[in-house]
Structure 1
Amino acid sequence: MSTPVDPSYQWCGAELDLDAYLARIGYTGDRAPTSATLRALTYAHTTSIPFENLEAILGRAIPLDLKTLQDKMIRRRRGGYCYENVALFAAALERLGFEFNGLSARVTMGAPGLRPATHAILRVLIDGRAWLCDVGFGAGPLEPIELIADRGEFTLGAWRYRLERAENALGVEEWTLHHFGRDGWIDRHTASVTPSYRVDYEVGNHYVSTWPRSPFVTRPFVQRFLPEVHHVLDGTTWTTEYPDGTGETRELAHTDLPKLLAEVFDIELDAADAAELARGGWSVRPEG
């Protein structure tokens, strides 16, 4: 008699409306758990579901249960930040039969010193090869990255990356992803291969969505990543970035935000939320 699998180690794939999810991201391809399928799913998810923290800005909790994620990101066609995107994507991978585990990464973006592990990514295993899937960063990549040491610079679409392997103080394998942008080459994040689970993401999610000094509760931060352009809304600053490192920056009024979100980021807010965001009350909150 087999021992039942503890559901804490699973990703709720059985609860996912797979057809609705695939329709949401516009995926109509093969459903076998292959590297080609993984590549196509990553591309479709990354280019269809924007990164956004608007629920936290509007003073709401950000639950990670699959029912809530499906209602928000599939039925209402909203976006989410890393924990939401990865939880939904992981449920799809589990439902499709992929072998994978969660990882937690330390986002650096060139900053010195030790950073907390508050970014969710996935490590997928296919035919003995390991792939890094980063569908929740908001800035790509468009495809999974095979974990190969000393591979040097490479491109995914038109966007440029580097991946470096090292070991931490305990001898655990770590991977640092670098990307090329407006500031040249910058280290994005570092992740060890120590597995993370849904319960770990719950803890990280609570921290980044409730700590008064978290960047995710102080101002709107929204991204849409496409093959030829990366749009970023940071507070009232709208930045457009291109693969060659060029870009444009525009300052907006609070009242411009709902229209911009709909037209550029594919996020349609209801009338009450649009009015609250346009009011700009989040911009005068005291820091905790």
Structure 2
Amino acid sequence: MGFRLNAYLDRIRLSNVPDGLAGLRALQESHMRAIPFENIDPLLGRVPSLDPKSLSDKLLARERGGYCFEHNRLFGHALEALGYAPRTLLARVRNGAPEGGARTHQAFEVTVEAARWLADTGFGGHGALHPVGLDEPGPQVLPNGAYRVVRDAVAGETVVERQAGDVWISLYGFDGHTARRIDLEAANFLCASWDGAPFKANLMLALHGPDGRRAMFNRALTLGMPPETETRVIDRFEDFARVLREEFRLDVDHADLAAVWAKIETAPTRR
């Protein structure tokens, strides 16, 4: 059993998908509001599977989340099933830095209504709830803030930025070349296994709820988007388990919760 579109739409609570750009927007926002970003498997030494059956079991049936390769592989299956033609990209995460690292983030370029759009449900940082227009040179006001794309001629990349107060923060950059399935498999293994990636050493969660974006870095729980955020540090395992189950809506068994807590109990609460 592979990808099931009806099960996906039930999971993201979307009963009707409009045509064209409206449908693309609805899919991305509904996905990001329903399925959390989380890296529990890599943190516990597991390489996430990207095959359709495993993704459907984990993110749909078991109501878990995942990191970018899991989110966007699932999202990509939905786009294809609905008649979109997503083109896969690999990006270098910047998160405010002047240049990116390895190609460890997946996103899509989707052409719809005679324009190109960057569609992405799996960025664990401050990603856009709606696709970002790649042909629009100016700022774009989306449901969770203002975004823009700029050209970095030195790196040969298109860079996605988000406005935070009076400044623009770089999120990630991509060169526009189409990534193949083997590229994604290799990048997924690298992200889950490499000490140079953040996922083996730190817990990272994110979910866009009705009261704003929730994020967690190890034991630090943050509500809101920069520059307006509130953060508190969780000190007890019981509170940690409740937050994951109730605020991030993650179905994680007790053994895994205990194993995660053991790894983050004394870990830093700032990146």
TM over 0.5: yes
Counterpart of 1:134 in structure 2 is 120
Match for 2:15 among 14, 28, 35?
A: 28
1:232-262 per-position Cα deviation (integer Å, ceiling 9, x unaligned) = 110111111247x211111112513211111
1:114-155 per-position Cα deviation (integer Å, ceiling 9, x unaligned) = 52111100000124311100210133311111212422x221
Q: 1:51, 1:79 within 8 Å by CA — same for their partners in 2?
A: yes
Counterpart of 2:27 in structure 1 is 41
Percent identity between matched residues is 34
Counterpart of 1:144 in structure 2 is 131
Match for 1:276 among 249, 252, 259?
A: 259
Deviation at 1:73, TM superposition (A): 0.1
Against the structure 1 CA distance between its residues 216 and 260, is the aligned structure 2 distance closer, same or farther, given a 3 Å change threshold?
same
Q: 1:142, 1:227 within 8 Å by CA — same for their partners in 2?
A: no
The alignment status of 1:222 with 2:208, answered yes or no, reads no
TM-score scaled by length of structure 2: 0.90
Any residues of structure 2 matched to 1:78-93 within 5 Å, and which? 78-93=64-79
TM-score scaled by length of structure 1: 0.85
Structure 1 segments of 4 or more deviating over 6 A? none
Q: 2:115, 2:135 within 8 Å by CA — same for their partners in 1?
A: no
For these two proteins, the number of residue pairs brought into alignment is 265
Any residues of structure 2 matched to 1:104-123 within 5 Å, and which? 104-123=90-109
Q: Which runs of 5+ in 2 are unaligned?
A: none
Counterpart of 2:184 in structure 1 is 201
1:218-243 per-position Cα deviation (integer Å, ceiling 9, x unaligned) = 02111112465221110111111247
Q: Which runs of 5+ in 1 are unaligned?
A: 1-13
Please say which structure displays the higher CA radius of gyration: 1
Q: Distance in 2 between matches of 1:262 and 1:183?
A: 36
Counterpart of 1:260 in structure 2 is 243
Partner secondary structure for residue 182 of structure 2: helix
Any residues of structure 2 matched to 1:51-62 within 5 Å, and which? 51-62=37-48
Deviation at 1:208, TM superposition (A): 0.9
Counterpart of 1:213 in structure 2 is 196
- Kindly report the root-mean-square deviation, in angstroms, between the aligned alpha carbons of the 2 structures: 2.2
